[in-house]
Amino acid sequence: MTTTVYVPRDSAALAVGAEAVAAAIGREAARRQADLRIVRNGSRGLFWLEPMIEVASPGNRVAFGPVHAEDVPGLFEAGFLEGGRHPLSLGPTEDIPFLKRQDRRVFARVGIIDPLDLDDYLAKGGFQGLKRASTLSQNEIVQEVERSGLRGRGGAAFPTGLKWKAALEAPGAQKYVVCNADEGDSGTFADRLLLEGDPFLVIEGMIIAALAVGASRGYVYVRAEYPRAAAILAQAVARAEMGKILGNEILGIGKPFHIEVRRGAGAYVCGEETALLESIEGRRGLVRAKPPVPAIAGLFGMPTVVNNVLTLASVPTIFSQAADLQGRSRWTAAYQLAGNVKHGGLVERAFGLSLRELVEDFGGGTESGRPIGAVQLGGPLGTYLPPSMLGVSLDDEALASVGGMLGHGGVVVFDDAIDMARQARGAMEFCALESCGKCAPCRIGSIRGLEILDDLLARRDPPRQLELLRDLCETMARASLCALGARTPAAVLSAIDGFPGAFQTGDRLGGAP
Amino acid sequence: MNDEASRVDSFEVARGILQRLDAAPSSLLPALHGIQDSLGSVPPEVLPLIAAGLNLSLAEVHGVVGFYPWFRREPAGRHTVRLCRSDACRARGADALAEHVERSLGCREHETSADGFASLEPMQCLGLCALGPAMMIDDEVHGRMTPEHFDRMMAELRRAP
């Protein structure tokens, strides 16, 4: 009997040697004449265990990890294909506590299927949502999305149904659907994991969006730093075209929809939707003033739906699942545990987890073994929280009360060796480096902010510098055109307010409680 | 190859890439990517060709090349090492690794080693934030990088034909 062995081909697994592991398994199997087939799946998102391989057994899959090429002969020796134990055995994959305590919905197929196997996708419920949506009118599709309570998962949490409604109602000879896969926040990788692990889901979400608003062309803008995600997605698009799911007639319903995969070029600001549209049009990624919003006048001036990868991937279940899952409570958050953490990876959970549960129960604390020094939520523009605030619940309201927001869900853990003054300066420097230059508060404010922070750190009249800095941050937060200039102050001020001593005594952590 | 020959070669490459794309301004980023993928950089002499081919002014093309950090105007070394410098990797020791890489290659960020072996570029986030420090060597990503691992990989690359 042929045994199936899963060896992930996700970037995270490849980065730590999965390709060599797959080759070693192939070699060893040939040498021993073992009857096996290797499937290259996505990653389950348990990164400290990568490369994590799985063996299919009746009723479940058992995992081994982290596996290196030199471990492979020993695994065969231990009979890992027939349920034999080995020091790297992790037991049934689904029983690994990190995974067992999650609510994998958007990521339900990631790490399980071969991401480019259209039949596998169909067999696991793929295109059910699209099939139902294609029987509905445009208005009905939009209404169902509105009723579902789905909000944008790129960071701004704007109601998706409202956006689609505006694009549907806006007049325009040509409409577009754009998938924002410019996941630039440090500490985030959910979009990448999904694009590499279940690309057809994103395509399905885009087709439903296209049906809803009447778009015949779509773009996916993937950052240059994600070459593997772009390549897998491009292959998935080609296969969907071959399968007559995309192209001149989507699913045989007589409407065309074409998807083009575009590569970014290293500009963080292009994750902002209007800068992204400029970039697709072939220009510098300068942020546009809003209004008009892209739903009214977006790509090439036409009505355009711009949604994040996870948002579009959340759409198909709205149409394939029972109505009892309606409302806000059906939605999960995709937390991404990163930085100096023992068990880093993806945690998809219904809302309501506390930061402590996430960082300590799931994450297992710092990898260095030192005490936690700070946690940054929501990327480089996110708030730094001191360890005393780990009890905060990870929902929008609770986070807002401590000046934070979840954004795209990145959670970066630092140990107590972190220098908060340097982090504050780094946040301002990041803004200066990545500013598109369109608006003065961001372009000039970030440079001026750096100068003030340097004066502050050199102890040149600190009270005056702090007053100036707060005034500048207020201006940037209120007057910048986009979140880059508007949210940088949150990162800077949270470092100053949460870790005050770091700016007075030279104590790196500032005696944070 | 002498300068004249390499110039002719880059014209040929650029022309071939432009032929495969729509002759419209929105093809600019795909054109620049195609040229850099083939030549290792976007040499200044091909910019007029791109401008003419996509119905753009030279200033517009120049502005776009300068805006996006991914595009390089100077020739690259035989290999490109891109180091993640963002916070999640720094929380896992990326600063110390960066110092080692600079010493090991004998060049700073944004520079190419004197022997033309490798160019060193800083970058923001490879999405390997729980496996840092991360880097990209040519088209391959690498995580949990240590100075020893880096030196081993460089030695392998130097031995490769």
Chain B residues in contact with A16 (beta carbon < 8 A): 131, 142-144
A343 to chain B: closest CA residue: B130
Chain B residues in contact with A428 (beta carbon < 8 A): none
Name the strand (E) or helix (H) holding A372: strand A372-377
Alpha helices, H only, B20-160:
28-39, 47-54, 58-67, 87-90, 94-105, 147-159
Chain A residues in contact with B140 (beta carbon < 8 A): 14
A122-144: average pLDDT: 96
Whole-number Cα distances in Å, B79 to A373, B82, B147 = 37, 10, 18
Say if B78 is an interface residue toward chain A (CB within 8 Å): no
Give the Cα separation of B105 and A235 in Å (integer): 36
Residue of B57, B109, B129, B146 to mutate, interface with A, max A Cβ within 10 Å: B129
Per-residue tokens: A123: 């067999």
What pLDDT band is residue A511 in, cutting at 50, 70 and 90?
Answer: very low
- Cβ contact A407:A379 at 8 Å: yes
Give the Cα separation of A411 and A299 in Å (integer): 32
* pLDDT value, residue A340: 97
Torsional class of A86: left (φ above 0), alpha (ψ -120 to 50), beta (otherwise): beta
- Cβ contact A344:B131 at 8 Å: yes
Span A165-204, pLDDT tens digits: 999 999 999 999 999 999 999 999 999 999 999 999 999 9
* pLDDT value, residue A322: 56
Give the Cα separation of B37 and A34 in Å (integer): 41
A496-513: average pLDDT: 68
**Residue A254 burial by Cβ neighbours in a 10 Å radius (0-12, 13-18, 19+):** exposed
- Cβ contact A9:A60 at 8 Å: no
Q: Is the pLDDT of residue B140 over 90?
A: yes
Give the Cα separation of A18 and A10 in Å (integer): 9
Chain A residues in contact with B123 (beta carbon < 8 A): 225, 266
Per-residue tokens: A302: 């036409």
B144-153: average pLDDT: 96
Residues forming beta bridges with residue B80, ordered by sequence position: B119
A167's CB contacts (< 8 A; 6+ apart) are A175, A213, A215, A295, A296, A298, A303, A304, A305
- Cβ contact B64:B30 at 8 Å: no
- CA nearest to A376, candidates A498, A196, A241: A498
Phi and psi angles of residue A312, each rounded to the nearest 5 degrees, phi first: -65, -35
Q: Is the pLDDT of residue A508 over 80?
A: no
Per-residue tokens: A108: 């339900």
Give the Cα separation of A414 and A371 in Å (integer): 9
Q: Is the pLDDT of residue B24 over 70?
A: yes
Q: Do A189 and B127 touch (CB under 8 A)?
A: yes
A489-505: average pLDDT: 88
Chain B residues in contact with A262 (beta carbon < 8 A): 29-30
* pLDDT value, residue A155: 86
**Residue A47 burial by Cβ neighbours in a 10 Å radius (0-12, 13-18, 19+):** buried
A490 vs A251: which has the higher pLDDT: A490
Q: Do A282 and B25 touch (CB under 8 A)?
A: yes
Whole-number Cα distances in Å, B125 to A238, B87, B136, B143, B144 = 28, 9, 10, 12, 14
- Predicted structure pTM score: 0.96
Name the strand (E) or helix (H) holding A373: strand A372-377
**Residue A416 burial by Cβ neighbours in a 10 Å radius (0-12, 13-18, 19+):** middle
Span A69-86, pLDDT tens digits: 999 999 999 999 998 999
* pLDDT value, residue A72: 98
Closest chain A C-alpha to B64 CA, distance in angstroms: 5
DSSP designation for A95: G
How many contacts does A have with B, using Cβ atoms within 8 A?
157
DSSP three-state, residue B129:
coil
Give the Cα separation of A129 and A138 in Å (integer): 14
Task: Quote the percentage of chain A above a pLDDT of 70.
Answer: 96
Give the Cα separation of A335 and A287 in Å (integer): 28
The alpha-carbon radius of gyration of chain A (Å, integer) is 24
Alpha helices, H only, A396-459:
396-401, 420-434, 440-457
What pLDDT band is residue B8 in, cutting at 50, 70 and 90?
Answer: confident
Cα A452 from chain centroid (whole Å)? 33
Alpha helices, H only, A402-439:
420-434
* pLDDT value, residue A513: 46
Give the Cα separation of A451 and B36 in Å (integer): 36
Q: Is the pLDDT of residue B32 over 70?
A: yes
Using CB atoms, which residue from A15, A279, A413 is nearest to B134?
A15
Whole-number Cα distances in Å, A113 to A44, A75, A125 = 10, 23, 12
Give just the sign of the alpha carbon dihedral B12, B72, B49, A260: positive
A285 to chain B: closest CA residue: B67
Chain B residues in contact with A267 (beta carbon < 8 A): 67-70
Q: Do B131 and A15 touch (CB under 8 A)?
A: yes
Q: Is the pLDDT of residue A329 over 90?
A: no
- CA nearest to A282, candidates B67, B134, B146: B67
- Cβ contact A184:A223 at 8 Å: yes
* pLDDT value, residue B66: 97
What pLDDT band is residue B7 in, cutting at 50, 70 and 90?
Answer: confident
Say if B87 is an interface residue toward chain A (CB within 8 Å): yes
Closest chain A C-alpha to B26 CA, distance in angstroms: 4
A412 to chain B: closest CA residue: B88
Q: Which residue has the tokens 């040499």?
A: B43
A245-249: average pLDDT: 92
Task: Quote the percentage of chain A above a pLDDT of 90.
Answer: 87
Span A281-305, pLDDT tens digits: 999 999 999 999 999 999 999 999 9
Cis-peptide into B75, omega within 30 deg: no
Say if B91 is an interface residue toward chain A (CB within 8 Å): yes
Say if B80 is an interface residue toward chain A (CB within 8 Å): no
A352's CB contacts (< 8 A; 6+ apart) are A393, A394, A395
A194 to chain B: closest CA residue: B127
DSSP character string of A313-344? HHHHHHHHS-GGG-SGGG-EEEEEEEES-SS-
B121-136: average pLDDT: 94
Give the Cα separation of A356 and A365 in Å (integer): 9
Chain B residues in contact with A434 (beta carbon < 8 A): 124
**Residue B98 burial by Cβ neighbours in a 10 Å radius (0-12, 13-18, 19+):** buried
Chain A residues in contact with B137 (beta carbon < 8 A): none
Mean pLDDT for chain A overall? 94
Q: Do B67 and A284 touch (CB under 8 A)?
A: yes
Q: Is the pLDDT of residue A358 over 60?
A: yes
- Cβ contact A208:A129 at 8 Å: yes
Of A257-266, A323-332, A348-357, the range with the lowest mean pLDDT is: A323-332
Q: Is the pLDDT of residue B161 over 90?
A: no
B92-107: average pLDDT: 96
Of A34-48, A268-282, A454-468, the range with the lowest mean pLDDT is: A454-468
- Strand runs labelled E in A85-201: 89-92, 176-181
